[in-house]
Chains A and B, each alone.
Chain A
């Protein structure tokens, strides 16, 4: 078969498959995934999907889009890579490649104490979401472990369904690693308004188990009862396949700035890739739709014949937490100063490293987010007064900059 073989048909792999053709690649394109589902959007799984029992997965693109691009979709788990022979093993048979792209994504972390419990859930793929949605029918009190994006989005959705929801977070505030304190505070207050109980500084010390069910989470002072437990404590790149093939890995599969791994003709994109980041000055694994699709398009151009270039885009991300739309542009790494604008309904937090704008976080303020992306793309920092004034002022400043 040869040509380009892509392992993983998530946001990254699916985009690469169709972009290769759009960029003029003439060889075979084979897209392999463990699931036979038409590749779908992951973000709705923790937002709208849980609330509507009739909701269907939302395809990334129509089945006809793969056919039109001459992409062969295969179902199955790739079990081995032979980088010397340039083959992968699928259903026990060898499949040749000219180029192999690892787009295998990430898996949720699980607490070892909870393994195998029937009422413990996590959210990564459609099967997880369907299992959770079905189990919710018999659950009144849901405990969410982890105050990160997926945990908080799910908490808001579950509260809207009338569930009693408690979020347990070991850090002093939710979103502690990814957002400013002002953002965390607004998110906590909004969730509280929806009836969600948020317990920060709560370390789960143990679990009360009866048979195959968890009935309570034990903290230092008290015990929180639950019918259902949703664990959202982050994800880990699935590097097992790459490691076994001798491909260099750290947290993720290590790549250079062109997305090439340590093995010839093997590339990695999306959640699984740990790639030098222009804003971090270090290799970084980024979990976002934008990163996955932009890396896919970048690699497609190169595999279709464009000269190699460093991957370098302004990262952006969103999270819908009940009535809050959180939007983040850029990375706040190394930031030492914040400029704020808060009118009660909307919040904009500008992160600066010295006098350079590096990231902007907004709540319900899409105008600020859109301008932030353009500012970061241009490498421009407006004076503080313009950021405090508002998006129209920044737009006017950008137009004359």
Chain B
């Protein structure tokens, strides 16, 4: 169970124990991380699970995720990810993600 740190929009750091196999969004939702709304439930439709990668490495975004992010209107950066499209693995211990403003 890797521990993932989510930085909430007001700067609060939340350490969440994530289960391998679930999405980073699911782990954040379970822990009620502020700013992760996940309206579409992980269908890459709403971008309300948008985070910036602050520390650690992640596999490259698949085309669905990359395109959705590229064409979402606001606040995208080079480090933008849709947390619902990333599956937790044991190698993600120590990952830090900042929740993007809506």
Chain A residues near B (Cβ < 8 Å): 41, 43-44, 58-62, 64-65, 68, 289-290, 293, 316, 318, 320, 325, 327, 365-367, 369-371, 374, 391, 395
Contact = CB atoms under 8 A, between A and B. Distances in A.
Contact of A370 (B26, B29, B30, B71): B71
A39 to B, nearest CB: 12
Interface residues of B, number: 19
Q: Which of A58, A60, A325, A391 has the most CB of B within 10 A?
A: A58
Contact of B32 (A64, A320, A395): A64
Contacts of A68: 32
Nearest to A44: B41
Contact of B41 (A43, A325, A367): A43
Nearest to A327: B45
A228 B26 CA distance: 33
Contacts of B44: 325, 366
Interface in B55-92: 64, 67-68, 70-73
A12 B67 CA distance: 28
A318 B32 contact: no
B15 to A, nearest CB: 15
A253 to B, nearest CB: 23
A318 B30 contact: no
Contacts of B30: 59, 62
B42 A58 contact: yes
Interface string B32-56: 1000000111111100000000000
A59 B37 CA distance: 12
Contacts of B41: 41, 43-44, 58, 60, 289
A-B interface, 8 closest residue pairs, ranked by CB to CB distance from nearest: A370-B71, A41-B41, A62-B32, A367-B67, A367-B71, A366-B68, A366-B67, A65-B32
Given A59-B29, A59-B30, A374 B68 contact: no
B53 to A, nearest CB: 20
A366 B85 CA distance: 14
Contacts of B1: none
Contacts of A395: 71
Contact of A58 (B26, B64, B72, B73): B26
A67 to B, nearest CB: 9
A318 B43 contact: yes
B72 A289 contact: no
Contacts of B39: 289-290, 293
A337 to B, nearest CB: 24
A225 B64 CA distance: 38
A46 to B, nearest CB: 12
14 contacts: A44-B41, A59-B29, A60-B41, A61-B32, A62-B29, A293-B39, A316-B45, A318-B45, A366-B64, A366-B71, A367-B71, A370-B67, A370-B68, A395-B71
Nearest to B41: A41
A364 to B, nearest CB: 8
A320 B44 CA distance: 11
A373 B71 CA distance: 10
B9 to A, nearest CB: 13
B71 A371 contact: yes
A123 to B, nearest CB: 16
A325 B64 contact: yes
A351 to B, nearest CB: 19
B12 to A, nearest CB: 13
Given A370-B68, A370-B72, 9 more contacts: A44-B42, A58-B41, A59-B30, A62-B32, A290-B39, A318-B43, A325-B44, A366-B67, A366-B68
Given A62-B30, A68-B32, A325-B64, A320 B43 contact: yes
B101 to A, nearest CB: 15
A290 B43 CA distance: 13
